[in-house]
Structure 1
Amino acid sequence: MHCFLSDSYRDHNPKYEYFRGEKVPCFESVERLDNIVKALQARGHKTVSPDHDATGVIHTLHDPVYVQFLETAWQQWLALDPANEALQPFPSVWPTRTLRDDVVPDNFIAKLGLYSMDNGTPLAQGTWRAAKSGADAAVSAAQYLLNGNGSVFSASRPPGHHAGRDFMGGYCFLNNAALAAQTLLEQGMKKVVILDIDYHHGNGTQSLFYDRDDVLFISLHGDPKTEFPFYLGHGDEAGEGKGEGYNINYPMPAGTNFDQWLQCLEQALENIHSFQPEALVISLGLDTFAEDPISKFTIQSDDFFKVGHKLASLRLPTAFIMEGGYATEALGTNVVNVLEGFEQG
């Protein structure tokens, strides 16, 4: 499969994060994509550099003020104190209920809280370069489909599906899958599906398209009553306004096995068939894997071949956009199993 990859993914290399209140090494690491690249190459899939600039569509979907903050955040951090180069900034206050979010504070950490949904999304010196190059890869993947090709993989890092119009979170800064879908629409398509199969609900993607009828968003994920992002992803969230009926969530309990998960995927495929889209964007999270350290489904590596095969049954131009998956050693195998299952379908 044609695979877009920018080496700038290595520029985002924070050393630690806060997970459930504890300081831990980053689950979302450079090694994740390193292992994906090794698996792609070992099984004969070539990678190419992005060939389209995502700037325009980024400013369409994301608030330009938020984007400017991302572009300059590290410089702002260093301007406070040059010694900050050895430290990672984290938000410590958020504009929750009764607090104002319409006035941008001058204080850097307060601004970081304004544009963050959690404190588990660490910034590093090269975060913007990596995020922008990942967005370029996703938009390049969309353009590849528009050129008449049937399938493509965007090896984007950091992931994107938790990022909303004006906030980062869940390791995500720019919403790559949403940018790919928007590109398809801006270039003439009328209806596109985003199918999110990451273990964690794609809250950012849902929020971006919740009032639109040109994108059907479907997410299969861990129940938000117990799983991140906690505050979105329930089954009664169906869209609003023009978007009513175009948002479908399938939350599942911890311990869900492949057969149970597959039943939800079959329902999602029926939803997609009824929508009759022109293209399919897959938010490809592989943290549904049984050995993932921060997730609680029990899908095995060989099962991912069948996932790819099922997705191919839709017979749609399909862009796979990389999201989560934190069992680092197995991640490359699991990704390529999906892609090859799709190609063999």
Structure 2
Amino acid sequence: MKVFFDERQLRHAPTHYFRRGAAMPHQEQPQRAEILRDMLIGEGFEISKPQDHGLAPIKAVHNPDYVDFLPTAHSRFVASAGTEALAIPTMHPGVRRGKEPKDIHGQLGWWMTDTSTPLTEGTWEAAYWSAQTAIETAEAILAGDRAAYALCRPPGHHAMRDCSNGFCFFNNASIVAHHLTRKFKKVALIDVDVHTGNGSLDILYERGDIFFCSLHPDPATYPTFYLGHADETGEGEGEGTSLNLLLEQGASQDDVLAVLDKGIEAIRDFGAEALVISLGFDMAVDDPLAAVAVYPEGFAEMARRLAGLNIPTALVQEGGYLGPSLADNAKSFLTTFRKATQ
């Protein structure tokens, strides 16, 4: 199984964000990727750098104006607000009517939904190469590989078509799924991160050629809120191609695996020819953002069941934060998936 990662992804270095009204240390740290990288090396995975595929694959799923906003946004913010200020939005348009303003503070509110995606000096470079890592994985699948893994950081599944959200800037998994439609008529994207794949849902909701399934606690009471309800099944050509499978907060490992089986069955029924996995390890019982109770052996079983679909698969890293079992969970899933797809 090929693995892709670029060290430039470590350059996004947020210090803090606001949660429930209080400033706290930011959970999405470069160390996450370093832990996963070191585990991969220790387990004999060969890590390659991605090629530069440019902006076109990113703009194929994101609003081009949003993409073009990001490269200079941090420097423009610093020029306006100074180096001590946190580059987050403090003004929001509410319901999306109106027009993008030209002032940087207004633009932050237009293109960014919350405080969890503060811009730092290295954010653009990290997000760009995170997306390129994902695209390289799609290219490997298009070239005939059975499985490939993108160690993406920052993650992507909360990023919507035209805004950042929930630690995410570019929706790497949706970029991969769209890229795979160059060869495959039917692609499935399953999100096993503990949080709703709300950005993927937003991007893919009217797509009939990409089936989207997300496992997560009820968004009525658990972040990222708003999207991911059971009655959201797609619109237009995408009617029936979105599936949100809700978990109880505190769900056991067996509960999670039972819901996963429902997602796998739906993917088979869809007739998917290729698979993208939004791979989050924050379903772990000891993750800092834990809401359910999966252990290393549970991640291994998830890998076996997903590999059992027996179709070309791109794995795209999402969440999984600095809990004590992060490396063990990643090792369990990825070594099991490698063995099952050799």
TM-score class, shorter-chain normalisation, is over 0.9
* 1:130 to partner: Cα distance: 0.3
Q: Answer yes or no: is the 8 Å Cα contact 1:36–1:335 preserved in 2.
A: yes
Q: Over residues 287-345 of structure 1, what are the superposed CA-to-partner deviations in whole Å (9 max), with x where a residue is unaligned? A: 10000112210111221111111111000111110001113442222122111121233
Q: Distance in 2 between matches of 1:173 and 1:321?
A: 14
Unaligned regions of 5+ residues in structure 1, if any? Answer: none
Q: Over residues 74-127 of structure 1, what are the superposed CA-to-partner deviations in whole Å (9 max), with x where a residue is unaligned? A: 12112215xx23432111221113xx6431113222211111121222111110
Runs of 4+ in 1 over 2 A off after TM superposition: 84-88, 327-330
The answer to whether 1:330 aligns with 2:325 is: yes
Q: Distance in 2 between matches of 1:193 and 1:168?
A: 23
Q: Distance in 2 between matches of 1:85 and 1:47?
A: 36
User: Which deviates further from its counterpart, 114-123 or 40-49?
Assistant: 114-123
2:12 is matched with which residue? 12
- TM-score normalised by the chain length of structure 1: 0.96
Q: How does 1:20-59 map to 2 (within 5 A)?
A: 20-59=20-59
> Aligned match of 1:104 in 100, 105, 120?
100
Q: Distance in 2 between matches of 1:319 and 1:329?
A: 26
User: Which deviates further from its counterpart, 59-68 or 141-150?
Assistant: 59-68
Q: Which amino acid aligns with 1:132?
A: Y
The answer to whether 1:194 aligns with 2:189 is: yes
Q: Distance in 1 between matches of 2:238 and 2:80?
A: 43
Q: How does 1:198-209 map to 2 (within 5 A)?
A: 198-209=193-204
Q: Distance in 2 between matches of 1:96 and 1:253?
A: 30
* 1:173 to partner: Cα distance: 0.3
State the SS of the aligned residue for 1:261: helix
Unaligned regions of 5+ residues in structure 2, if any? Answer: none
User: Which deviates further from its counterpart, 176-185 or 325-334?
Assistant: 325-334
Q: Distance in 1 between matches of 2:86 and 2:226?
A: 26
Q: Over residues 159-186 of structure 1, what are the superposed CA-to-partner deviations in whole Å (9 max), with x where a residue is unaligned? A: 000111110010000000011111111x
Q: How does 1:68-87 map to 2 (within 5 A)?
A: 68-81=68-81, 84-87=82-85
State the SS of the aligned residue for 1:233: coil
Q: How does 1:108-119 map to 2 (within 5 A)?
A: 108-119=104-115
Q: How does 1:1-345 map to 2 (within 5 A)?
A: 1-81=1-81, 84-97=82-95, 101-185=97-181, 187-345=182-340
State how many pairs are aligned.
340
- TM-score normalised by the chain length of structure 2: 0.96
Q: Distance in 1 between matches of 2:41 and 2:258?
A: 32
Q: Which amino acid aligns with 2:250?
A: G
Q: Which amino acid aligns with 2:302?
A: V
* 1:256 to partner: Cα distance: 0.4
Q: Answer yes or no: is the 8 Å Cα contact 1:309–1:343 preserved in 2.
A: no
Q: Distance in 2 between matches of 1:101 and 1:139?
A: 32
RMSD, aligned CA: 1.3
* 1:253 to partner: Cα distance: 1.5
Identity of aligned residues (%): 37
Q: 1:327 and 1:222, CA in 2 relative to 1: closer, same or farther beyond 3 A? A: farther
Q: Answer yes or no: is the 8 Å Cα contact 1:308–1:338 preserved in 2.
A: yes
Q: Answer yes or no: is the 8 Å Cα contact 2:177–2:189 preserved in 1.
A: yes
Q: Over residues 32-58 of structure 1, what are the superposed CA-to-partner deviations in whole Å (9 max), with x where a residue is unaligned? A: 111001111111112110024141111
State the SS of the aligned residue for 1:58: helix
* 1:222 to partner: Cα distance: 1.5
* 1:242 to partner: Cα distance: 0.7
Q: Over residues 208-262 of structure 1, what are the superposed CA-to-partner deviations in whole Å (9 max), with x where a residue is unaligned? A: 1101100000000121011111101110000001100000001111100111111
Q: Distance in 1 between matches of 2:295 and 2:323?
A: 14
State the SS of the aligned residue for 1:85: coil
